[in-house]
Each structure stands twice: as C-alpha cells, then as structure tokens.
Amino acid sequence: MKKIKKSKKIELYILIACGVFVLIGALAVLIHYSSTPINPYGNKDTMVIVDIPTGSSFVKVTEILNKAGLIKSRYLFYYLALTKRATRSIRAGEYEFSDSMTPGAVIDKLLRGEVKLYTIIIPEDFTTKQIAERLAEFNLIDEETFFELAVDSDFLKTLGITTKSIEGYLFPNTYYFDRSMSTRQIMKIMVSQFRKRVTPEMVKRAEELGFDINQFVTFASIVGKESGNQAEKPMISAVFHNRLKKRMPLQSDPTAVYDLEDFSGKVRRSHLKRKSPYNTYIIRGLPPGPIANPGIDSLNATLNPAKVNYLYFVSKKDGSHYFSSSLEMHNQAINRYRQNKRNK
C-alpha cells in the first residue's frame, strides 16, 4: 500500500515537473516571440499604415494587423496581448508601424494609443474655406460637414460664437491632429485655441475702443488680409481707425471680394462697385463679420494702432506700402509706384 502511494506521489511530481517544464518552454517561446522583430530584415524607414476603426474587437484588430503583414503567429500575438492586458485597451485610430518592430512593441504602441499625428500649419489670415481645403488634403475632415457646422447656429452657440459663421475664430497655429478625431472635434480645438490667445484683457481693450468681440475680430481680419508685414500692421490698423473716426469708407480690397464664389485672385474695378454687405467701398464702417481668421499680430495691431494720421496706403508689391495722410499725397504715391513699375 505504501509502495502504491509512493508511486502516485512520484507520478504527481513528474506531472508537475512536466507542467512546469511546458510552462517554462511556452514562456520562453512567448518571450522570444515578443522580442524578435516581425521581419528581422525589415527597414525601419518603411512604414505600414494601419487603421483601427472605432468599436473594433481585439479579434478584428488582430485580423487587420495580420492583413498588414505585422503578425506572424496570431495565436502567440493573442496570448502576448493577454499577458499585457491589451485585449480591451486599444484605442481606435490610424497607426504607423514598421515590420522591423517586435510584436511586443506593436502591442505597447497600441496600448499607449500612439496614433499617427498630422502636423497641420494654419497660416495667419487663412479663410475658413482655405482652412477646410488644408485639412481635407490630409483627410482629416469631411468638407461637407465642416461647412455645415461653420454656419450651424446651435454648434456655434456651444463655442460661444454669436455671429452667423465660424469665420475669424479658427485660430491660426500649428496643430497635431489624428484621423480618429471628428470634424466637430477639430473645429472645437481650433476655436479653443482662439479663446486661449484672445485674453479677457484684449476683449476689454477692444470694448474701450468701441468694438464688441465680433467687430474686434472683423477689424483684425481686414488688417491681416491687407498686409502680411508684421511691422506695418499697426500702421494699417491706424489707417482704418482714422477712417472710422472720420466716417470715411474703409475701402479695403479684400472685403470687396470676400463673398465672391469665383474670385480669380485679381481685384478688378467691377469688384469695388458691386453691391455686397462686405464691400467697404460701398458700405460705411465694418462689414458684418470677419473676412478671414486673424493671427495674434493682427489682433494686437487692431488694439494698438500706430500713432499716425495716415488715411491712405498703396502697395509697393513687395509686401510693404506707401502711407499718406492726404488724397494728394496718396495719388502721388500711386504715380510713383506706376513710374517705378514702368522703369523696371
């Protein structure tokens, strides 16, 4: 009887030993798999783009990675994910991998949600239309949705915008967007940047000058469209401030063509005569809303115009302008520009 019990104990020890051996072996295989590049001869510079749709199960994620050539063993990949508790913690989005990465690194990247980011530079004084085109180049927005939201009063109210359009409030900056973001989210981020940069002190200063926030942004957008020369913007601003005080039309070319659907890029005399609430050759005062999305330089210039008595300016076509305080001097500047142009 004792021999039978002893024999069973030995068998149990052998089974345990075998189990431990198998477990150690499996663990060794898993560790080796986790730390071995998917393709040992892969090129780190060759990237594979993978899109994980929202709501994808881990089985679906595995299938997507497998089709992209990033998984050599689906079973080992799944067990590795289990050990990292990754089966329910993967963020949807677009990812960038190389086949020189290890399976462990792939799972870690998915766990951290390191989706592919696109660096988007929105220059100062871009219009809403230009911003939409820039974002659409990278497939970051649905253009139809973008333009619908841009004039959606309910959406604008959630952003604290009381005007009829989002124009002027999409702040120019360098952004890092990913394709898991919705069109709505991207627009909110850009407006939130406007709120960060346009401080309460700036709004108060605008009120002291007689502008509500919409008029302030509208004024700044005209300054920005008239000149990209940072040093000149306070003088451009001064011209328009001086004209408003004298109840003179602003006569800004960019306003006259703002709402044209088929503007070719060249301002013509017929544009300056067309009836439009934005045409400051026809109306007095500011147009009903911004004509672009001004940057901080234009906003500051609006609040701090140069202390000059200029009422006119004409472009030198080199990014700078001739400034004049009388119509006679202005006409002389125009003739001088034309003469210089003929001499070239």
Task: Find the helix packing angle between 2-35 and 74-83, rounded to 10°.
Answer: 100
What are the residues whose beta carbons fall under 8 Å from the beta carbon of 160, sequence distance 6 or more? 195
Cα angle 125, 130, 134 (rounded to 5 degrees) comes to 115
Bridging pattern class, strands 174-177 and 312-315: unpaired
Distance CA 67, CA 79 (A): 19
Query: H or E stretch including 2?
Result: helix 2-35
C-alpha distances out from residue 211 to 192, 208, 313, 330, Å = 21, 7, 23, 28
C-alpha distances out from residue 53 to 56, 60, 63, 75, Å = 6, 9, 12, 22
Give which of 186, 237, 215 is closest to 287, Cα–Cα. 215
The amino acid at 334: I
Q: What is the pLDDT of residue 151?
A: 97
Q: What is the pLDDT of residue 339?
A: 63
DSSP 255: H
Residue pair 193/65 in contact by the 8 Å Cβ criterion: no
C-alpha distances out from residue 101 to 39, 42, 84, 303, Å = 8, 8, 17, 53
Given phi > 0 = left and psi -120 to 50 = alpha, else beta, which region is 46? beta
Domain borders along the chain are 33-116, 118-197, 202-310
| pLDDT tens digit at each of 344 positions of the chain | 555 555 655 555 555 555 555 555 445 555 665 667 877 665 666 788 999 988 888 889 889 999 988 888 887 888 787 888 877 778 888 999 988 888 888 888 888 889 999 999 999 999 999 999 999 999 999 999 999 999 999 999 999 999 999 999 999 999 999 998 999 999 999 999 999 999 999 999 999 999 999 999 999 999 999 988 889 999 999 999 999 999 999 999 999 999 888 777 788 888 888 999 999 999 999 999 999 999 999 999 999 999 999 999 988 877 788 889 888 888 887 777 666 655 55
Neighbour tally for 195: CB within 10 Å: 12
Tokens in use for 258? 């703002």
Give which of 40, 176, 66 is closest to 119, Cα–Cα. 176
Per DSSP, the three-state class of 240 is helix
Architecture of domain 33-116: 2-Layer Sandwich (3.30)
Tokens in use for 78? 């799944």
Q: What is the pLDDT of residue 127?
A: 96
Give which of 49, 141, 64, 55 is closest to 97, Cα–Cα. 49
Query: H or E stretch including 303?
Result: helix 296-303
C-alpha distances out from residue 109 to 74, 81, 158, 190, 241, Å = 18, 12, 34, 27, 54
Q: What is the pLDDT of residue 337?
A: 64
Neighbour tally for 335: CB within 10 Å: 10
Asked if the domains at 33-116 and 118-197 fall in one CATH topology, the answer is yes
Taking domain 118-197, whether its CATH number is 3.40.50 is answered by: no
Give which of 238, 216, 214, 243 is closest to 227, Cα–Cα. 238
Distance CA 50, CA 67 (A): 10
The amino acid at 274: R
